[in-house]
Structure 1
C-alpha cells in the first residue's frame, strides 16, 4: 500500500471522468518533466501536508506521498483553526530540481522547499520574509532571475536557495475590474509572451480564471479581452466554482488546464460535501490567447493512450511500520498517540482530547472521494473510547462511537451536539460501519445532497442501523471553510485499537431524507 491510484470510475476508450483527482484535493499545481507529470494540492490544517501525485496521461493520478511529512517542515500549532494551515502550493521543475512554494498561514508565512526526487525527502523550509500575501508562484526568466508572484497580484525577485528578496513587492496586475480576490497567480513563458494566469471572483460560485500577457516576465501585462477565460458562474452546470487553475502541455504538445471545481447536489442552493476537487479541461489557442474547453463529469478522451484505470485499494490492514500516505490527521500526529507498532497488524490510537470537538483529538482519516461510499472498521474498545467518524471540522462531524459499555451515534452540527441513538456494547471487538448515499433526484428544493447511515455489524455480518442523518450539515455551504469530508478512526479517551479499515465506492442511489428526530 505504498501508493493509491484515484479514479472516479473506469473510463471507456473514448471518454474519461472528471474530477481526475476526486475528493478534497483543491488548488492543483502541475509540472511536466519529460514524460512524467507531477501535481500538488493544498492541505490546510491536516498533517502530513501537500499531497503529491504522479501521472503519465493527465487523467490517472497515483498518490506518491506528501511533500511536508515532518514536523520540522510543517508547524500547525494546536490553535490552528480548521481551513487554516497550508494554502495553495505551486510545484515547478527548474535546472534539475523540483521546487514547491506555499503559504503556512498559521505559522511561518511563505515557505519554499526543494528536492531532486519528488517522492522525497523534501528539504527543510526556506523562509521568505520579504514575500507578502498568499498563493505564491515561482518562475525563472531567461536571465536566471527567480520571480515570486503572489495574490494581489504582486511580484518580487528572490533567491530561492536563501529566501532573500530584492527590492519591494510591485503590483503588476489587479485582475478584472469589479472582480474580487485576484489570487492563485501562475507565470509562464509560452511562445512570444509571458502569461499571467490568475483566479478571481472568490472561491465560491463566482470563481473564475482570467489571464494577461506581456513581453517580459515583470510586465506590463495586458488582460485578455475575453476574460474570464473560464467560469461557470450563473449556470446550472453540474461542476461549479471552477477556478484556481494551472496550465500544462499534454504528451502530444496540446495544452490542458488543471483546475478546481465542486459537484453540488440536492435542492437549492446545492451543497458540496467532498470539498474542491481537481478537474481537467482542454485548451486551444486563438490569437495567442487560451480558449478553455468544457469542464464536465464525462469528457472526451485526450488524443493519446490512457493508462489502465487501477482500482482504488479498499482495505488497510495496518501491516506496515508507517501509515500509508493517504492517511491524514488534524494538525499533528505524534508517535505516542498513533502507532502501528504496539499491537502488530493493528492501528493504536490514544486519546488526547475529550471528543472530536477538541482541536487536539487523535484522528486518522482519509478523504471521502466518492459521492456514495461505505467505510468500515474493526475496533477493540476494551481500553478506551473511540470510533469511526466523518469530519468536516470540529463543529461539523458525525460519529459512530464505542466504549464505556455502549455504542452510540453522535452528531455535532455547529453549537449543537447530541447523542442520536445508542445500544449496549457487546464484549470483544466491534465492526463499525458508515454508508453515504448521494441524492441524485431531489424530492424538492430543500432536499439535501446525501444521507449518511451509521451503525454496527452483528456477529452474523448483518448491518444494524442506528441512525440515518441528513448530509447537508456536513457541507461547505453549511459549515463554511475550504476543506471537504474526511472519514476515519479516532480515540476520545484511553487507548483504542483498530484491526483494519476499508473504504469502497458505492453506486449512487437515492435514499429518503430523514424525518425530524430520526
Structure 2
C-alpha cells in the first residue's frame, strides 16, 4: 500500500514512543528526556543550567581531553574509519562542535589515543591494532593542522599511550599494563626500554567482569601529586565489568599508592542507565571545578557503541577525589562560565558543498586513494563503484547517536551498478537495501538475503527506519511523494561488539558497488 511522505513520517514518529524497558525495570520509562538539536538529535544541554548524559551521543569511546586556555579539545578512538581522529571543540565542557580530522593516512585500526599540548605544539599519540600492535605520533602547530605524517615509535605489543611530563621536565608515555617508556625532548622518539612501574588494583574474584585488562592510563598532576587513572575489568562483556581505579605518587617516577576508595566508578547492576563505564580522564572546568570524562554503553543499546559521559568530581581532604554523578541517569548541574558552541552537527546533507570527510562522513577501511572515489557536483554526491557488495565497497558512514532515527536519500545508479542504504557494523555484519536496474538486493547478517524485482529502474528514493532496533525500509518512485513499504523487516539489537567484536557501532551509510558511479541526492536524517 502506498502512503504519503507525511503519513509515513507520522507513523514512524508515533512508533518511536515505545522505549526500551527490560523486564522488571518499568521505572526506566520515567527517566528524563533530552533536548533536541540538529535533525532532532538529542543533546546533553537541557537549557536550564543542567545537562543529561550522554555528553556526546553515539560511538565516541576512549575520550582524550585537552584544556587549552579557555578552549577544550577532545578526540576519540576512530578504529577503521578514515579520515579519523576528529577533533571536537568546546568552551563550556557540555556543548561540543566537531572541527577537522587529524589523521588522513590509513595506518590501521586506531584505538585509545593521547591528545596533548607541550611547549606550544599539539601531539597525538596513536595506538594501532595490528600484528604486532604499534604506536605512532603526529604533531601540529595548530589544532586544525596541518598534522604531520605519522611517525612510528617502534613500540610493538603496547596500547593506550598517555603522554606525561615529570616534575623534572622529562617526557614519558605511560602504557597499558602499568608500563611506561621515556620520550625524547621533542616527543617524536623513545629513549631506553619499556619498564614496569605500577601494579593496578585488583577487584574481588567474584565480580562479573570481562577480564583484568589494565588499560587506558591517564596521568594528571594536581597540587603535590601525580594521579594515574586506569581502567580495569575489560572494556565490554558484562555490564558490570569496566571500571575506573586510581593511584597517586608525589613523583612521576613513583612509587604509586592505590586509592582506598577503588573502584571510583563501576556499574553494579544491569538496571543502571549506563553500562561498562570506564576509561576516565580528569579536566578542570571553566569555573575551576573538576570533572571526569569517560565512556559507557547505554542500557539496551550496545549498537550505539561506547558514548562519551561527563561526571563531576570532588577533591577530598585526604588528597584523593570522588565521582559525584552516581549512575548518570539524572540531570547534573553544568559548570559555570564558558560560552556555549552549537552542539554537534546536522547529519542531513544536500551535497551542495564538498563532502565533510572526517568531521561527518568516514570511509570504512579505505585504501590510500579512497577519497578520490567521491566528488560533489550539481547537488549530488557522486560515488564511484567499488567491490561487489557492501563488504568490499568501503561504504561512506555517519555516527548516529539516537535510539531511533530515520534516513532517506535519492539514489541513481549507472548500468551495471548497485547502490543503496545501509546500517553497517563492519564488513561481516551489516544490513540494508540496495538495487541494480532490475532487482533489489537485500542485506541481512552481513550476507545477501534475496533479490526481489525492482519496478523503478535505475533511480528511486529510499528510506531506512531504525526504531529501537526494529528496521523497516520504504521505497518511492516519485521522489518521496508516496512511499511503499518493502517486504522485509529486520531486528538488529545483536549487531554489536559483544556478538561480533571490534568495539564498533551500527552506523547509517551509503554504498556503491559493481560498475560505474552512483549519484546520491538530498540525504535527510531525523532522529525520532
Equivalent residue, structure 1, for 2:401: 369
Paired residue total:
471
- Is 1:486 aligned to 2:481, yes or no? no
Q: Which moved more, 1:140-149 or 1:156-165?
A: 156-165
The alpha carbon displacement at 1:153 in A equals: 1.2
- Equivalents in 2 of 1:60, 1:336: separation in Å? 30
Secondary structure of 2:413's counterpart equals strand
| Contact preservation (8 Å) 2:364, 2:397 | no
Q: What residue number does 2:463 align with? A: 433
Question: Which of 46, 67, 70 is the equivalent residue of 1:11?
Answer: 46
Say if 2:232 is the partner of 1:200. Answer: yes
Q: Distance in 1 between matches of 2:464 and 2:426?
A: 18
CA deviations on 1:366-423 (whole Å, 9 max, x unpaired) are: 012111111111111233111110100112111110213123432125xx5412x734
The 8 Å contact of residues 116 and 163 in structure 2, kept in 1 or not, is answered as yes
1:89 touches 1:136 (CA, 8 Å); kept in 2?
yes
The equivalent residue for 2:97 is 62
Task: State the alpha-carbon separation in 2 of the partners of residues 6 and 370 from structure 1.
Answer: 7
Matched residue, 1:97 = 121
Q: Please give the per-residue CA displacement for 1:186-221, whole angstroms capped at 9, x wherever unaligned.
A: 112111111111111000220001000011002110
Corresponding residue of 1:381:
413
Give yes or no for the alignment of 1:351 onto 2:372: no
Query: Over residues 299-331 of structure 1, what are the superposed CA-to-partner deviations in whole Å (9 max), with x where a residue is unaligned?
Result: 222241562655741421222234342101112
Normalized per residue, the structure richer in helix is 2
> Structure 1 residues 117, 156: CA separation in 2 closer, same or farther (over 3 Å shift)?
same
Secondary structure at the aligned position of 2:390 is classed as: coil
- Counterparts of 1:44 and 1:470, CA distance in 2: 25
Please give the root-mean-square deviation of Cα atoms over the aligned residues, in Å.
2.3
Q: TM-score, normalised by structure 1?
A: 0.86
Counterpart residue number, 2:140: 115
Quick check: 1:379–1:496 contact (8 Å CA) kept in 2?
yes
Q: Deviations over 1:136-162 (max 9, x none)?
A: 010112322101100011011111636
Match in the other structure for 1:43: 78
Instruction: Please list, as runs of the form range in 1=range in 2, the aligned pairs for 1:287-366 lying within 5 A after superposition.
Output: 287-294=318-325, 295-305=327-337, 307=340, 310=343, 312-324=345-357, 325-332=359-366, 334-335=369-370, 338-341=373-376, 343-358=377-392, 361-366=393-398
> Structure 1: which 5+ residue stretches go unaligned?
77-84, 266-270, 439-449, 507-518
With the length of structure 2 as denominator, give the TM-score of the two structures.
0.84
Q: Distance in 2 between matches of 1:31 and 1:6?
A: 26
Deviation for aligned residue 1:477: 3.0
| Residues 86-140 of structure 1, C-alpha deviations (whole Å, 9 max, x = no match) | 0101111222111111112237710111112111211112221257510001011
Query: In the alignment, is residue 454 of structure 1 matched against residue 473 of structure 2?
Result: yes
1:78-477 matches, within 5 Å, as 85-106=109-130, 109-130=134-155, 133-159=158-184, 161=186, 163-177=188-202, 180-204=212-236, 205=239, 206-265=241-300, 271-286=301-316, 287-294=318-325, 295-305=327-337, 307=340, 310=343, 312-324=345-357, 325-332=359-366, 334-335=369-370, 338-341=373-376, 343-358=377-392, 361-383=393-415, 384-413=417-446, 417-419=448-450, 422-427=452-457, 429-438=459-468, 450-459=469-478, 461-466=481-486, 467-477=488-498
For 1:5 and 1:157, the matched residues in 2 are separated by 47
Q: State whether residues 131 and 165 of structure 1, in contact with CA within 8 Å, keep that contact through their aligned partners in structure 2.
A: no
| Partner Cα distance (1:365, 1:48) in 2 | 11
| CA distance in 1 between partners of 2:353 and 2:261 (Å) | 52
- In 1, distance between residues paired with 2:130 and 2:353? 32
Q: Do the aligned partners of residues 311 and 242 (structure 1) sit closer, same or farther apart at CA in structure 2, a change above 3 Å counting?
A: closer
1:343-376 deviation per Cα after TM superposition (whole angstroms, max 9, x unaligned) = 4322122222111233xx1311101211111111
Residues 45 and 432 of structure 1: CA distance in aligned 2, closer, same or farther (over 3 Å): same
